[in-house]
Structure 1
Amino acid sequence: MKRNKYILLGVILLVSITMARNTEVGISTVFKQDEPVPTETGPRAGLLAPAFSLTAMDGKTYSVGGAKDKATFVSFWASWCEPCKQEAPELNRMAAKYKDKLDLYGVNVTSYDKLKDAKAFVDEYQLKFPIPLDEKGTVYAQYNGVAFPTNVLIDSRGVIQEIILGILPEKELERKIKELVAN
């Protein structure tokens, strides 16, 4: 069983690295904001985001799902993920810049990580946004997680606009965030 977990981690790492090198990464289906709110929930663009509540490193509980005052950006990550390390400073900047229009959550998939390593990562990159802990990996599984980072852009209606596997260049990421919060 342990061997299978290490094989899975290796595959996830390899996919993450490969996707980080490709500027056209991700699932690029974007749902149109002016369409009616869907009734189906699921981990793809155009569906309502699967709801979840997780306790974060700050001890508070954060929830995703349903309509909110702001758009939501969820980044699933692990401390050993090299693309996650590259993306962390960008996410910090985006969280600060768009704080009035965007809730950004950095969900640590603790089932693929170690809590002490995740805390060290947060300290090293001085992350200022909430870090919910997915200790059993159930939320990551709800979103069909296959790579780190996996970023989910959710509009204020609770509809997934896009799922991005791997990282994007900072300008491209900001363009997508601007589009998300503009609607």
Structure 2
Amino acid sequence: MMKRNLWILAGLLILLCAALYQNNKTGILSVFGLGDETNSAAAGQGKSVSQLVAENAPKPGSKAPAFSLTALDGKTYQVGGKRDKPLLLNFWASWCDPCKEEAPDLVKLAEQYGEQLDVYAVNVTFYDKLENAKEFVKNYGYTFPVLLDEKEEAYRKYNGIAFPTNVLIDENGMIRDVIVGTLSPEELEAKIKKLLNA
């Protein structure tokens, strides 16, 4: 009986691996923000996923990819093009431990620089649960807009590969810095000051 169960389990694992292999263009690689075109290009050029992500990710000095998302407050917020104030764009998920560590720093920065800086927290709801995101926002006292990326549209445009990812965008809609992972509060504030003084 035990041997039979092991064979059934092995068969299921083989089927799962086959399904993942067949769907890797839209499944596994979507976590890295890669679509069909980049995957086939990678196969032809022998490039790794991390190389492709680095090549395709928006870089400092380039225009911030445009998107429009609805936030928890019911309003629609837009990114892309000229702005009244520079923007700190924060991609996060409620289950992400580094996001939890960074959350108090974002709240403090938003309070301290709110007159000069917009902060948009983009919950990549595609990889999260709305109720968990709402609880996170409540627990950490977010007062800035929390945008919901339910279809992973914005995260893909920025070729997101990890949470948190912070993108600093100036008033002209140009990317000034991309920060994957967390920084110390002092380092993050120094980058904010640099953005505001640019």
TM-score by length of 1: 0.78
2:144 to 129, 154, 175: 129
1:7–1:143: structure 2 CA closer, same or farther, 3 Å change rule?
Answer: closer
SS at match of 2:99: helix
Tell me if structure 1 keeps the 8 A contact 2:31–2:161.
no
CA–CA distance in structure 2, aligned partners of residues 44 and 10 of structure 1: 19
SS at match of 1:88: helix
Tell me the equivalent position of 2:130. Answer: 115
Tell me the equivalent position of 1:37. Answer: none
Between the two proteins, the alignment pairs up a number of residues equal to 153
Listed as ranges, the matches of 1:88-107 within 5 Å are: 88-107=103-122
1:86 to 89, 101, 104: 101
1:61 to 76, 87, 102: 76
CA–CA distance in structure 2, aligned partners of residues 58 and 99 of structure 1: 18
Q: After TM superposition, what 4+ stretches of structure 1 lie above 6 angstroms from structure 2?
A: 1-11
TM-score by length of 2: 0.72
Identity between Structure 1 and Structure 2 (%): 56
In structure 1, the gaps of 5 or more residues are: 12-41
SS at match of 1:132: strand
Query: More helix per residue: 1 or 2?
Result: 2
AA at the equivalent of 1:151: N
Deviations 1:30-77 (A, max 9, x none): xxxxxxxxxxxx721110000111100010111111111210110000
CA–CA distance in structure 1, aligned partners of residues 116 and 62 of structure 2: 21
Tell me the equivalent position of 1:138. Answer: 153
AA at the equivalent of 2:192: I
Deviations 1:64-117 (A, max 9, x none): 111112101100000000000000010001011111111100000000000000
